[in-house]
Chains A and B, each alone.
Chain A
Amino acid sequence: MNIKFKNNGLRYSLFKTHFKMKHLLLIILVLILNVQNNLYANSSSNELTISINNKDQEKTINGIVTDENGLPLPGASIIEKGTLNGVVTDFNGNFSIKVANQNAIIEISFIGYKTQLVKASVASFKIQLLPDTTTLDEIVLIGYGSANRKDVTGSVVSISEKNMNEGAVTSPLQLISGKAAGVNITQTGSEPGSSPSVRIRGISSLIGGNDPLVVVDGIQGNMDLLNQIPPSEIISIDILKDASATAVYGSRGAPGVIIVSTKKNKVGRSTVEYIASSAIDFIPKKLDMLNANQWWEQAQLVGVPASANHGSNTDWYNILTRSGLTQNHTLAFGGGTDKFSYRASISAILQDGVVINSNNKKYIGRIQATQSALDDKLKLTFNLNSGITETKSSVQSIGRAAFTSNLISNAYVMRPTDPVFNSDGSYYTDPNVFQYLNPYAVSQTVTNEGQYDNLFGSLKADLELTKGLTVGWFGSWRKTNNTNGFYLPAVSTSSYAIDQNGYANINTNKQNEKLTNVSLTYKEIFGDHSINALVLYEWQNQTYQGNYAQARGFLNDIATYNALQLGDLSKVVPGDLSSYKNDRTLVSFLGRVNYSFLNKYLVTASLRRDGSSVFGANNKWGSFPSASVAWQIDQEPFMKNQKIFNHLKLRGGYGETGNQQGLYPQNSISLVGGAGVTYFGGSQITNFNVTQNANEDLRWETKKQTNVGVDFALLDNKLKGSIDVYTSTTDDLLFDYTVPQPPFPYGTIKANVGSILNEGIEIGLGYDLIKSDNTTLTLAGNVSFIRNEVLNLSGSINGVPLNTDYVSWGPNSYLIEGQPIGTFNILHHTGKDGVNSETVLDVDDNGIIDQGNESPDRLINGSALPTYTFAFNPTFQHKNLDVSMLWRGSGGNKIYNSIRSTLSYLENIGKSNVLESAVPLGLFNSKYGSDLWLEDGSFIRLENVTVGYNFNLENVKYIESVRLSFTGNNLLLITDYSGIDPELNLSGGNGFGGDNGIYPRTRSFSLGLNVKFK
């Protein structure tokens, strides 16, 4: 029997021994757990001395185990130390154990709590276990199963609820920001509803996708699945980093895997819990622009006529921004018996953004139920999760011909002397500025809203066929429905809207994802050998469907986008109507064996074979093997007498994983699609075109990764940590390779040719500076270094040479063989000429400044990819008070500050405002994008400071506990970067590494409340 059991951030499955107990579900013990508990918690154990009863006689001990709040703790394990003899506490926390004699030592443990050792001396006693905030997490999820931390052979990080970030958290990723080495979570701006991006061990793919696979309670999905889960309902997040761990996910595993477990009801307990937080958000930094007087003074110097000065004094940025508000509310409750338990919750995440008229409201309801049957041989787990998100966004891309960015960044280019309104109350515009845009008018008149509905459900059934052999079935269905409506009226001042007399569109996108798998699991211990084997078949299908409609020419703005038929239908043009449908199917077979000998030597091997519909007819199937080993050195006899290491484990593994999610269906075949309208035979007819260069050989890109790591605990368990070194190569790199025109109709073809290297080292450490019963001070931190290199982008397919190099990948950044992704290859600023136009270095001295991608005048100057990231996370606890702090940073990268260049050329001043710094710079214009705008992207951020207090309310009726916390987010930013925030798009995809204006990154102060009712 395999029982999944949840408590305080940890989930584990145990080997079974049968105990018949009246009230409670049966829990099984293993030696492994015993050993492990010794490893991590001895130092903090309280040894109670109890008087001796009778020396050599068998003895029965009766007791009760309670948690930190004095409530019974069911399911705690009671073991007679050094034996296999053990029981678990029942529903009321009671236990009864027979031990050999009164000298026996009883070990009381519960995952997430400090283990206590008690001498078998008194007949009955009450033991209170206290939460252990410092142990390494003990049970980790490894994909299609779980393992004890000490048995893990790959590189896996687990973060349990108690170690997660607090505050106004709106996305699950914010919970674990800075918590794991090599897991870089980047938040660009604080637009309501926007989520951070996450990169595990850097960028290993160009177009295949670098977003990790997300698995929530067994349901697999892309990153958007994470947004369907309320952060407050997450109990743990496990991250599979290296390929030996992710290979079980085969062709979806290459970018890493994030496994999320949600809270389940503790067996036999009733809970009612209310969790809330409320935050005020501020804009900590703005760009320093000229005010009205300064602007006019400078404008006159470059001969701007007085007609361009409209005499106002407007702080455009200020009128478009405000203080934001973020609220989270979760009400959760649950209950159950020994056979049945459930948990239900309803959450609301409400954000009002710092830019006016931007907000996001998310509501999520969940229910989860488990049921045992057939004498506990069958276990059913059911999950149902439904969410609604309503968003009002500021416009993401709008502006004049000369400057397009998000709405708020348009405030920068506004002359401070321009009024917001004309004297008649209409929005001000200036016809002398091409495509003038009044951003305040846009914010007040544009409708830009979205509704995102989602639903997913799953059922898991595990049936124990015979001892050690379990057959499992899992099925999940996930649906999302995303509708966006947009209306840009002529009063918005947008020139396009004026031309069209307003236009409106509705965009609907649906996803339908089905997954089912069947597995057989066999677990057994034969003396010194322990084996855990899995075979699995999995089928998944994802269907994407959507439509788009647009109308223009509205008599008035009343109906916005809600009635497209009210537009001028004679103005319908190609592109106003479209729809699509496509799907993908993935079929997989997986086998995995975990073998352990003497609990010292551990081997894991897996093989997954995947077949996917999206690949070319010639390459539908791929195999993804992995193998890893670990050695528990501290278990060796020669380690017995040393005092330095409490724990020492060496790990090594190799795996191959694939990548396909970034590849869209129908990429491999030659297709004909609509291409607008053409005029032929005296009338306008639909035009058709071959849509792409077909490639029947299209296949997976394969990431081959080798990882060596060591886990250790030393100095009396005070210093714990792990170090991992890895190298990974992505071969058969998916990319849009350059092909010659002629004969190809398009300049690129999706193919598998190049390769990318990533290698790095990751160190995670925690040191208990103070560790006593009442007080702990732990200094934790992690650092990772990564080196990325584009090894190769050229080759051939079917005899066609592909010569791909110096591919533009962002503003002045490129893919260049032998260099990291996003390498800046840029002209070098030398000064300015007699008319204050920028001059740059003519490297080859031929009198021509060539701005081509491979120009000899360009010089390599760093990369957009950070080479190191780090976090420092001290936590302090004294009795009921806790304080934690998170510093986080990264560096080694450069940022091309495009918006600074736009806002620095004085030739623009007649039409736009400029930065204060533009005045001393004195640059009139430039023909180039030079390294003058290239800046160091390193930063250190004080991301989170939380002070919390747990009120012990044993004697209060109805209330079990109350926690109050106060969190400050983004309190301090140390950087040389001159823009508003150096944390920009680091996704590694095309276009990263530049700053063209972002939604402000907020500083927030939040108050959190967590009440548990009796």
Chain B
Amino acid sequence: MKIKNILIIGSLSFLLLLGCTNIDEHVYDKYSADEFYGSAEGADVALASVYAQIGGNWGGVGYAGADNGWYDMNAMCADEQVIPHRNTGDWQLDFARLYKHEWLPTDYIIGNTWNWLYKSIYNANLAVDQLVSSNAEVSKIAEAKVLRAFFYYLLMDDYGNVPFYTENNITVDKIPQANRAEIYQFVLSELTENVENLSASKGGNYYGRFNKWAGYTLLAKVYLNAEVYTGTAKWQEALEACNKVSEGGFSLHSGAVDANNPLGYKYYELFGDVLPEDETILAMFASANVVSRNIFTVRSLNGPHAQELFGFSGWNGTIVPSDFFLKYDDNDIRKKQFLIGEQPGGTTYTLEVSSLDNPGAAPQAGVRNMKFYPVTPMDGGGASNDFPIYRYADVLLMKAECNVRLNKAGDAKPFLDEVRQRAGLDRLAGNPTLNDIYNERGFELNWEGHRRQDMIRFDKFLLPNNFRGNSENYRKLFPIPTSALDANPGLVQNPGY
């Protein structure tokens, strides 16, 4: 009897415990995606997170400011800057390969930029979706759509035919590789439908955001390069978009002498801490180590030189090729951004770089650049200069270009002269040629991420330079990165790669 009781009690308690089979997952330190984005605040946050994609940071995640991303890929394959391998063993060869037009589909920067762009589009899709479903203001929905168009424009500009999708909940087999013209059409229609709905406000809440004027600048850029993308030029449409931008009341920032500016001119405020509202159309905000960063000066300067100037060591990286530097007029205030010869800290920069890769450049060879003269907070990992994505000088030069291309060189001249005069140069003697405009764009917009696109549009991209002969036509497009091809065998590589 006693044993029986024990048995019964034992079995019962055993069965009781068997009931405890709860294995639900508990989440303590994150939010569930559906609940989070479903709210109105969540929709706003979704829009903010698209902008977070623009801010540059380590690992190539951003538009500009840090390294190994979109900026380096588009800047180093042009004529304005490169990081040579040093004969003391410093610096990898990726940048030299870009400059020499020897990049490979497996190169890190190429895959990194692709992934950044598609992550951005994912965030933009999410933002559009959440804003629409939460019935947000029209201007916010338009903003998210224009942002998405911006990233598709960058993708198409670099890679040509790319996968296209606007809904995140989709499988890869439903995502076609659209051709460049189709993406162009999508970008165009998204912009024409939405730009007018964007806010016309400048600065304040809209600093660093796509307002109407930034939207039209983007539209102008798309039209400006339409011939490259589709074979059909759209100069008139580009000009009209530029004129729309002018309605925003922009003007060139002063080029006056300013003893307080480390580079001597007010002009350089355009690349400083808070970018002036008169000229800046779209800025990328940076505050080092918090939001984005700007490494361009510290990356260029030699260690002890930067140490002497700013109190932290420079990376001795980026140089300006001598042929690019030598084109500047000595009276050009924009030439002040370059450094050559003896410097504080026992550094002497020399004009020529003898080798980009093997055996590499001598440690102090090459002209350096401090267009983005570091502003605080800063440290050896970069400074807090904001980055001008679009500014009015660019729009003026686009206007000039459109006019020349529309055979109205006389109409173009004032725009070009305005930019030249601000830089301390004389007016052009005669009417501008395309070459004048091409060169002026180089002088004015160097290190701002436009050069590759300009060189391709002006047919200069394939011309030989000091480190290579003629490049091949297929280099006008970057290859689809190998990692993307491997993951999605449905993709077709660009010709030549």
Contacts and interface: CB of A to CB of B under 8 A. Distances in A.
Interface of A: 401-402, 431-435, 463, 465-466, 469, 471, 495-496, 498-500, 518, 520, 537, 539, 571, 573-574, 579-583, 585-587, 589, 611-614, 620, 665-666, 668-673, 675-682, 684-685, 687-691, 694, 738-747, 798-801, 803, 805-806, 833, 835, 837, 848, 850-855, 905, 907-908, 910-912, 924-925, 927
B489 A803 contact: yes
Nearest to A833: B358
B380 interface: yes
Contacts of B247: none
5 contacts: A518-B14, A681-B205, A738-B487, A740-B163, A741-B115
Contacts of B121: 742
A465 B25 contact: no
Nearest to A670: B33
A905 B90 CA distance: 12
B434 interface: no
A105 B207 CA distance: 100
A1005 to B, nearest CB: 41
B326 interface: no
Contacts of B172: 739-740, 742-743, 800-801
Interface stretch (B47-55, B236-244, B416-424, B461-469): B47-55
B494 to A, nearest CB: 16
Interface in B32-89: 32-34, 36-37, 45, 47-49, 51-52, 55, 57, 87-89
Contacts of B209: 680-681
A675 B46 CA distance: 12
Contacts of B24: 613
Contact of B55 (A613, A678, A691, A855): A678
Given A434-B90, A676-B52, A925-B359, A666 B25 contact: yes
Interface in B348-378: 357-360, 363, 377
A499 B32 contact: no
B120 to A, nearest CB: 9
B316 A434 contact: yes
Contacts of A837: 358-359
A668 B25 contact: yes
A537 B25 contact: no
B459 interface: no
Given A679-B291, A837-B359, A852-B482, 14 more contacts: A463-B10, A465-B6, A499-B379, A539-B17, A579-B29, A580-B29, A581-B28, A612-B23, A666-B25, A668-B25, A671-B32, A682-B205, A740-B172, A798-B171
Given A465-B7, A613-B23, A800-B172, A520 B88 contact: no
Given A666-B25, A691-B30, A907 B360 contact: yes
Interface stretch (B220-228, B307-315, B332-340, B392-400): B307-315
Interface in B7-33: 7, 10, 13-14, 17-18, 20-33
A742 B163 contact: yes
B208 interface: yes
A855 B360 contact: no
Given A672-B36, A853-B106, A907-B87, A434 B28 contact: no
A848 B173 contact: no
Nearest to B122: A745
Contacts of B208: 679-680
A850 B37 CA distance: 43
A740 B484 contact: yes
Contacts of A665: 25
Nearest to A579: B29
Contacts of A694: 33
A585 B22 contact: yes
Given A747-B115, A803-B489, A837-B359, A675 B52 contact: yes
A402 B25 contact: no
B45 A688 contact: yes
Interface string B465-497: 000000000000000001110111100000000
Interface stretch (B252-260, B282-290, B405-413, B436-444): B282-290
B482 A854 contact: yes
A520 B482 CA distance: 58
Most chain B C-beta atoms within 10 Å of own C-beta, residue among A520, A589, A745, A924: A745
A721 to B, nearest CB: 42
A743 B37 contact: no
Contacts of B168: 743
B175 interface: yes
B26 A613 contact: yes
B14 A499 contact: no
A82 B460 CA distance: 102
Contact of A855 (B20, B88, B106): B106
B14 A471 contact: yes
A740 B205 CA distance: 36
B170 interface: yes
Nearest to A680: B48
A851 B106 contact: yes
B105 interface: yes
B483 A747 contact: yes
Contacts of A539: 17, 20
B93 interface: yes
A444 to B, nearest CB: 22
Given A434-B315, A743-B165, A850-B106, A669 B27 contact: yes
Interface in B79-114: 87-90, 93, 102, 104-106, 114
Contacts of B345: 431
B119 interface: yes
Contacts of B486: 738, 803, 805-806, 854
Interface in B160-183: 163, 165, 168, 170-173, 175
Contacts of A854: 482, 486
What are the 7 A-B residue pairs with the smallest beta carbon separation, nearest first? A852-B106, A678-B52, A740-B488, A680-B48, A679-B285, A499-B379, A670-B33
B476 to A, nearest CB: 19
B303 interface: yes
Interface string B285-311: 101011110000000000110010000
A670 B32 contact: yes
A739 B14 CA distance: 46
Contacts of B358: 833, 835, 837, 925, 927
Contacts of A573: 289-290
B415 interface: no
Given A465-B10, A583-B26, A907-B88, A537 B36 contact: no
Interface in B132-186: 163, 165, 168, 170-173, 175
Nearest to A535: B14
Contact of A679 (B55, B363, B483): B55
A681 B31 contact: no
B177 to A, nearest CB: 10
A432 B484 contact: no
Given A434-B315, A613-B25, A908 B487 contact: no
A742 B487 contact: no
Contacts of A499: 312, 379-381
A742 B48 contact: no
Given A466-B3, A587-B20, A678-B51, A911 B89 contact: yes
A402 B89 CA distance: 8
B106 A669 contact: no
A806 B25 CA distance: 34
B324 interface: no
Interface string B193-237: 000000000001111110000000000000000000000000000
B385 interface: no
Nearest to A305: B363
Contacts of B25: 613-614, 665-666, 668-669
B123 interface: yes
Contacts of A679: 51, 55, 208, 285, 287, 291-292
A307 to B, nearest CB: 9
B65 to A, nearest CB: 12
A113 to B, nearest CB: 37
